[in-house]
A and B are shown apart, each in its own frame.
Chain A
Amino acid sequence: MSTTTTPATTPRPAAGDRTSATTGRIGDSPLRPDGTLKVTGEFAYSSDLWHEDMCWGVTLRSPHPHARIVAIDTTAALARPGVFAVLTAADVPGVNRTGLEHADQPALAEDVVRYQGEPVALVAADHPETARRAAAEIVVEYAVLPALTDPRRALDPDTPLLHPSHPTGNLVREVPVRRGGPVPDAPVVVSVEFEVGMQDQAFLGPESGLAVPDGEGGVDLYVATQWLHTDQQQVQRVLGIGPDAARLHLAGVGGAFGGREDLSMHVHACLLALRTGKPVKMSYSREESFFGHVHRHPAHLRYEFGADDDGTLRYGKAELTFDGGAYASSTGAVVGNGGTLGLGPYRFPVVELVARGVYTNNPPCGAMRGFGCVQAAFAHEYLMDALAERVGADPVELRARNGMREGDPNITGQTIDSAAPVAELIRRVRDMPLPGERGTDLLGLPGGVGNTTHGEGVRRGIGYSVTYKNIGFSEGFDDYSTARVRLSVTAGEPVASVHTAAAEVGQGLVSVQAQIARTELGVSRVVIEPADTAIGSAGSTSASRQTYVTGGAVRAACELVRARVLERAAGTLGVPAASLRLDGDKVVAAGGEVLAGLADVLGDSPVEETTEWRHRPTVEPDPETGQGDAHVQYAFSAHRAVVDVDVELGLVKVIALDTAQDVGKAINPDAVLGQIQGGSVQGMGLALMEEVLVTDGQVRNPSFTDYLIPTVLDTPPMRIEVLENPDPHAPYGVRGVGEPPTISSGPAVAAAIRAAAGKDLRRVPIRPEHIVS
């Protein structure tokens, strides 16, 4: 059994099921403890949670993107047999506000709804169908208001304010970056206006969880999430209960990608559980899921680069506008990234940039893999190609020549103080073998099984991209993780148990934690305890940070435990502790000679240490100039895409998507490849097809029938070259892995399509009709 699932029959995991495999140290690729279960369909996801006597909660949502709530009548719903409770904002006992950065979002709408799908009322009933029918019987009288749906109008003086108490009106945040004085003239100037559509995380496990009241005013919530502690704080605030009165437990997570940073059903299930005194399960349908989490910000990007005749960059100007939708979520931090990282991994002597995020009545947007860098990359990579063409340079060499190097300042003046192999990465992907000529098998042609071409109209194109991303939380955030490590004896064998609150969302952190414990403590048996709020925060499973930060915390806790164990052994053996090591479940001398069994040293006295671990501090960038050491680490990646485009039908087949990425140190090489493959496909999906279509504030495609993600037939072979330039500031030299490929793959695909079609395409996703129009 897995270490992080919550079994379907009871919320409490069984102790005997938690021992992971006994091999796999740092640099190995042990089998994932949850891998077999997930492949065979036996893994218990949050939607599988079950509790005796539980009832079902459902959410009534606003059909309007902007409306005043005039009245809510719950009489009929309450009268339906089987219904236990119907709740509205009036039933919220605590502070009816949630939000990751600004608490601006009601758990249940009060007088106004600001987006289609905003939760308005809740029902608990003995059956989900009863609850759904009762929800349909709630009568909400709306007075529809004009909806602000064009983010470029959000800051116009005559535009009504969506959050009148917000100090900067409809502006959620603005980040200017100015460097190097006034923008000079340049012999070569290229510019673009680029538009990026709204991508969805499209995780496969819809939002779900189970709230179990404790009978004393508190609640246990089992939920699929990315950060238990930030959920806990928000839940307690809305419920109006004290610290630790809500205890959160990680349930099986079916993907996250940023879409589980904000609350979904968390507070709702707890509200219903405390009101009814019964365990309450909530589980969204696929359609509801599209309304139940934030999306990637759509963006309007205006960019201009000036350069010398040889293509050496003189300046970069940019204006980035992110549509934050109805509530702030993490728009502020996304804007921070879009600003501080918005020109890509290049050296610019002069920079004049501003990034903004605004409120609208569109669906709320927030965190998604790549976080502000994904959008910007499409524009800066477009311009690097445009510049190469203008000056007659090779697009790879132009990037290599302008690429950052270790020791360079970036556009916020922060010195890149570890490897910055921009030139090497982009040249590596260029130098990989190209795929062969196109064959005749339909499955290898644009249109695939649709039998739309036998070669007619098909043109090949190649595109390149190199990008970078901050790793970890930035801008002065106190970004730490907490780990408890215990070394004890079970059945005569030494066992290390590791407890953190870090969310395993599919990325493989449970394997990494065990690999670190095995390496640091020289033990074979490692138990990863279920993640919950019984221990301090691990921070978010976001920003490609968990191997770095929680990995760092686990290592630090292991070091403390090891020091105590070796002290104990040293006392018994009469040798200095400094001459001892732990290896192979033994205490060994420096030369490897076995001196004692670890189990004997531990005996009946386990050793346990808990520690918090922090990465280097960062600072908030200067509010006028954007200058400052805003980020803790940078990760670089490059892609080369080869595509075949049917230029008469606008259909695309990606033939190859090759990449090189510096990961610092591959703790688990197989997991690194998995992250790079998945991230590359997700970025490709944005370039090709993934878009939440919103018209007048209404989502038009909330289903996997019409929100398309790449299938295996859309997914090309990938050559992946993994560089390991250790970051001396990071544990083991690691560099975050998960996000960079999502940033660099999309622009390479878009460039390849432009090259194949001979079309100046300035929007993603690139739909077939854009190619043929």
Chain B
Amino acid sequence: MGMTLDAPDFHVPTSWEQALAVKAAHPEAVPVAGGTDLMVEVNFDRRRPPALLDLTRVPELAAVDRVDGRVRLGAGVPYARMITELGSELPGLAMAARTVGSPQIRNRGTAGGNLGSASPAGDCHPPLLAAGAEVELASVRGVRRVPVAEFFTGPKRSVLEPDELIAAVHVAPATGPQQFAKIGPRNAMVIAVTAFALALHPEQRRVGTGIGSAAPTPRRATDAEEFLSGELAAAGLWSSRGPLPESLVTEFGNRVRAAASPIDDVRGSADYRRHVLAVLARRTLTWAWDAHRSTEQRTGRTA
């Protein structure tokens, strides 16, 4: 059968060093971990990789470490572990992981796979954007780190070079409340029609955002971030932790909406996506700010 079917080569490295060597020697090899994206493509006959690089036996990829005060999340860590192990340090990411597929998918699918697919709808991306994460890319040539906001270059495209693999994601532990919200036409097991993540960074007097499924790539709503951070600072709200003016919340929502450039597709219209982004931005900001205020009430701390 192999003679007539040209079955793909299947590489099974058992160490990170081996994996990088294989990728260098076979840049056409497509990495596979959980297979929750790739195998759908293969099964639908939309993609026939000439070679596969199985990363499931590379132990280094499954590690969660702390490096320089940041969480270093191995690319092979599945969604299920983000929920159980990282809920307090990376709450936004854990919330996003909870919305992924079914329990079976959450057990298989990984952070590295989500990034590697680089889908505008990837659920990890908005919270990683909001948290200011960096993606660690490696090859036999060396290691580099790319801010996640610069990682995506187009729909299902990224800065990953043919000989590179995603090693890990570096994310600072949350210093303030984080939120993630995802729209789907049913109550579970949906690909995001639109998603939004928000992180308050009180120590930096900064707000982080991430938009999913509403532009060719996941993206930040930079203007909305700067506007809100500035207004909060100007009104002394970071330290006073007073209530947010309604007008501020509304304007933040409008600016998040303006940051999107969605399309009409089978999952929803562009108008709907813009509309719900504004709603999600307002709601997640309100929830996060309420949490920020109640933190003060509980602890008496000021940031």
**A interface residues (Cβ-Cβ under 8 A, vs B):** 80-82, 126-127, 129-130, 132-133, 285, 287, 443, 446-454, 456-457, 648-651, 653, 688-689, 693, 700-701, 703, 705-706, 708, 710-714, 767-769, 772-773
Q: What are the nearest 6 A-B pairs in CB distance?
A: A448-B187, A769-B272, A713-B188, A450-B182, A713-B187, A700-B266
Residues of A within 8 A of B43 (CB): 285
Q: Known contacts A649-B276, A714-B188; is A706 also within 8 Å of B267 by CB?
A: yes
Q: Is the beta-carbon distance between B283 and A127 smaller than 8 angstroms?
A: no
Min CB–CB distance B219 → chain A (angstroms): 20
Q: Is the beta-carbon distance between A693 and B44 smaller than 8 angstroms?
A: no
Min CB–CB distance A404 → chain B (angstroms): 35
At the interface, yes or no: B275 with Cβ under 8 Å from chain A? yes
Number of cross-chain contacts by CB at 8 Å: 113
Q: Is the interface of B mostly helix, strand, loop or mixed?
A: mixed
Min CB–CB distance B239 → chain A (angstroms): 26
Q: Is the beta-carbon distance between B179 and A711 smaller than 8 angstroms?
A: no
Q: Known contacts A450-B99, A772-B272; is A708 also within 8 Å of B190 by CB?
A: yes
Give chain B interface residues in 119-160, CB to chain A under 8 Å. none
Interface code B275-296, partner A: CB below 8 Å = 1, 0 otherwise?
1100110010001000000000
At the interface, yes or no: B19 with Cβ under 8 Å from chain A? no
Min CB–CB distance A447 → chain B (angstroms): 7
Q: Is the beta-carbon distance between A452 and B185 smaller than 8 angstroms?
A: no
Residues of A within 8 A of B40 (CB): 705
At the interface, yes or no: B82 with Cβ under 8 Å from chain A? no
Residues of B within 8 A of A651 (CB): 183, 185, 187
At the interface, yes or no: B186 with Cβ under 8 Å from chain A? yes
Q: Is the beta-carbon distance between B5 and A454 smaller than 8 angstroms?
A: no
Residues of A within 8 A of B185 (CB): 651, 688-689, 708, 767-768
At the interface, yes or no: B184 with Cβ under 8 Å from chain A? yes
Q: Is the beta-carbon distance between B182 and A772 smaller than 8 angstroms?
A: no
Residues of B within 8 A of A447 (CB): 181, 183-184, 187
Residues of B within 8 A of A701 (CB): 266
A773 to B181, CA, bound (A): 21
Min CB–CB distance A196 → chain B (angstroms): 17
Give chain B interface residues in 175-213, CB to chain A under 8 Å. 179-191, 193
Min CB–CB distance A392 → chain B (angstroms): 35
- Among A133, A452, A769, the most chain B Cβ lie within 10 Å of the Cβ of A452
Q: Known contacts A710-B186, A714-B187; is A451 also within 8 Å of B181 by CB?
A: yes
Min CB–CB distance A126 → chain B (angstroms): 8
Q: Is the beta-carbon distance between B266 and A693 smaller than 8 angstroms?
A: yes
Q: Is the beta-carbon distance between A653 and B279 smaller than 8 angstroms?
A: no
Min CB–CB distance A79 → chain B (angstroms): 12
Residues of A within 8 A of B276 (CB): 648-650, 768, 772
Give chain B interface residues in 33-67, CB to chain A under 8 Å. 40, 43-45
Q: Is the beta-carbon distance between B183 and A768 smaller than 8 angstroms?
A: yes
Partner of A130, one of B5, B184, B186, B189: B5
At the interface, yes or no: B4 with Cβ under 8 Å from chain A? yes
Min CB–CB distance B90 → chain A (angstroms): 15
Q: Is the beta-carbon distance between B187 and A449 smaller than 8 angstroms?
A: yes
Q: Known contacts A82-B4, A452-B182, A700-B266; is A648 also within 8 Å of B279 by CB?
A: yes
Residues of A within 8 A of B3 (CB): 81
What residue in chain A is nearest B102 (Cβ atoms)? A711
What residue in chain A is nearest B267 (Cβ atoms)? A706
Partner of A451, one of B99, B267, B268, B271: B99
Q: Known contacts A132-B45, A772-B276; is A711 also within 8 Å of B5 by CB?
A: no
Q: Is the beta-carbon distance between A451 and B95 smaller than 8 angstroms?
A: yes
What residue in chain B is nearest A456 (Cβ atoms)? B283
At the interface, yes or no: B108 with Cβ under 8 Å from chain A? no
A81 to B44, CA, bound (A): 23
Residues of B within 8 A of A133 (CB): 5
Min CB–CB distance B222 → chain A (angstroms): 23
Residues of A within 8 A of B4 (CB): 80-82, 127, 130
Min CB–CB distance B50 → chain A (angstroms): 15
Q: Is the beta-carbon distance between B268 and A769 smaller than 8 angstroms?
A: yes
Interface code B1-13, partner A: CB below 8 Å = 1, 0 otherwise?
1011100000000
| Listed A/B pairs (22) with beta-carbon separation below 8 Å | A130-B5, A443-B187, A447-B181, A448-B187, A448-B188, A449-B188, A450-B99, A450-B181, A451-B99, A451-B180, A452-B183, A452-B283, A454-B287, A457-B279, A649-B279, A650-B276, A651-B187, A705-B191, A706-B191, A708-B186, A768-B185, A773-B271
Residues of B within 8 A of A693 (CB): 266
At the interface, yes or no: B269 with Cβ under 8 Å from chain A? yes
Min CB–CB distance A255 → chain B (angstroms): 19
Partner of B5, one of A127, A287, A710: A127
Residues of B within 8 A of A446 (CB): 187
Partner of B272, one of A81, A453, A653, A768: A768
Residues of B within 8 A of A453 (CB): 283
What residue in chain B is nearest A693 (Cβ atoms)? B266
Partner of B187, one of A285, A450, A454, A773: A450
- Among B43, B179, B186, B283, the most chain A Cβ lie within 10 Å of the Cβ of B186
A705 to B191, CA, bound (A): 8
A628 to B182, CA, bound (A): 54
A699 to B294, CA, bound (A): 50
Partner of B44, one of A126, A454, A703: A703
Residues of A within 8 A of B1 (CB): 82, 126-127, 130
A127 to B187, CA, bound (A): 40
What residue in chain A is nearest B96 (Cβ atoms)? A451
A454 to B95, CA, bound (A): 14
At the interface, yes or no: B98 with Cβ under 8 Å from chain A? yes
Residues of B within 8 A of A712 (CB): 188
A sample of 17 more A-B contacts (CB under 8 A), given A130-B4, A689-B185, A714-B188, is A287-B44, A449-B98, A451-B95, A452-B182, A452-B183, A454-B283, A649-B183, A650-B276, A706-B191, A706-B267, A710-B186, A711-B186, A713-B186, A768-B193, A769-B268, A769-B272, A772-B276
Q: Is the beta-carbon distance between B45 and A450 smaller than 8 angstroms?
A: no
Min CB–CB distance A122 → chain B (angstroms): 17
A451 to B91, CA, bound (A): 13
Q: Is the beta-carbon distance between A711 and B189 smaller than 8 angstroms?
A: yes
Residues of A within 8 A of B181 (CB): 447, 450-452
Min CB–CB distance B54 → chain A (angstroms): 20
Min CB–CB distance A450 → chain B (angstroms): 4
Residues of A within 8 A of B187 (CB): 443, 446-450, 651, 653, 711, 713-714
What residue in chain B is nearest A133 (Cβ atoms)? B5
Q: Known contacts A705-B191, A714-B188, A772-B272; is A285 also within 8 Å of B44 by CB?
A: yes
A165 to B81, CA, bound (A): 63
A93 to B104, CA, bound (A): 48
Residues of B within 8 A of A714 (CB): 186-188
Q: Is the beta-carbon distance between B186 and A688 smaller than 8 angstroms?
A: yes
Residues of A within 8 A of B179 (CB): 451
Residues of B within 8 A of A443 (CB): 187
Interface code B244-267, partner A: CB below 8 Å = 1, 0 otherwise?
000000000000000000000011
What residue in chain A is nearest B3 (Cβ atoms)? A81
Min CB–CB distance B197 → chain A (angstroms): 10
What residue in chain A is nearest B287 (Cβ atoms)? A454
Residues of B within 8 A of A81 (CB): 3-4
Min CB–CB distance A90 → chain B (angstroms): 26
Residues of B within 8 A of A457 (CB): 279
- Among A443, A447, A700, the most chain B Cβ lie within 10 Å of the Cβ of A447
Residues of B within 8 A of A713 (CB): 186-188
Residues of B within 8 A of A127 (CB): 1, 4-5
Residues of B within 8 A of A82 (CB): 1, 4
Residues of A within 8 A of B275 (CB): 772
A453 to B266, CA, bound (A): 24
Residues of A within 8 A of B190 (CB): 450, 708
Min CB–CB distance A387 → chain B (angstroms): 31
Residues of A within 8 A of B180 (CB): 451
A768 to B280, CA, bound (A): 14
A573 to B271, CA, bound (A): 85
Q: Is the beta-carbon distance between B272 and A650 smaller than 8 angstroms?
A: yes
